[in-house]
């Protein structure tokens, strides 16, 4: 496999996806129901990315246990965010817990 071809192909696909609608511009019309549907995209996509990573970090079974640092840190991050709505604090608390868990509790 030629890696440069592979990477530039990825770049072409990504550019078409990202810029296609911007480039077509006015020729694209979005009805109201579609706008409403689009408002659900961010939360659903981001959630769909992180839930499997958190609940099954090794790609197989459900790891609902205190020995799963991803899960523990995610629960703490959710709690901190719900309480403070502060983004950097949420990230900092999540990272602090995952490091502490792996280097301290589980070590």
Partner 1 sequence: MPVLSRTASFAAGARDTLPMIVGAAPFGLIFGALVASTPLALWHGQLMSLTVFAGSSQFIAAGLFATGVGYAVLWATTLIVNLRHMLYAANLLPHVKHLNLRWRAVLGFLLTDETFAVTSSYFHRHPDDPMGHWYFLGSALSMYLNWQLWTLAGLLFGAAFPRLQTLGLDFAMVATFIAIIVPQMARAPWAIATIVAGASAFLCRGMPYKLGLLVAVALGIAAGMLALHAKRRDGARPDSGGANNDRRNSAQDPSGMRSQEAPKGGAQ
Reduced to 3 DSSP states, what percent helix, strand and coil does the chain have, rounded to the nearest 5?
80, 0, 20
106 lines the binding site for partner 1 (CB under 8 A): no
58 lines the binding site for partner 1 (CB under 8 A): no
- Applying CB under 8 A, which of residues 64, 65, 87, 107 lies at the interface with partner 1? 87
Exposed/middle/buried for 56, CB within 10 Å: 0-12, 13-18, 19+?
middle
Question: Cβ of 8: how many Cβ atoms within 10 Å?
Answer: 11
1 lines the binding site for partner 1 (CB under 8 A): yes
Task: Kindly state the smallest distance separating residue 1's Cβ from partner 1, in Å.
Answer: 7
Task: Kindly state the smallest distance separating residue 106's Cβ from partner 1, in Å.
Answer: 11
């Amino acid at each position: 496999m030629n890696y440069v071809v592979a990477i530039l192909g990825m770049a072409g696909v990504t550019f078409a996806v990202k810029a296609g609608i911007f480039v077509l511009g006015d020729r694209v019309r979005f009805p109201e129901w579609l706008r409403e549907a689009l408002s659900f995209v961010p939360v659903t996509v981001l959630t769909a990315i992180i839930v499997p990573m958190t609940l099954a970090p090794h790609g197989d079974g459900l790891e609902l246990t205190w020995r799963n640092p991803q899960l523990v840190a995610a629960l703490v991050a959710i709690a901190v965010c719900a309480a403070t709505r502060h983004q950097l604090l949420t990230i900092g608390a999540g990272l602090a817990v995952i490091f502490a868990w792996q280097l301290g509790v589980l070590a």
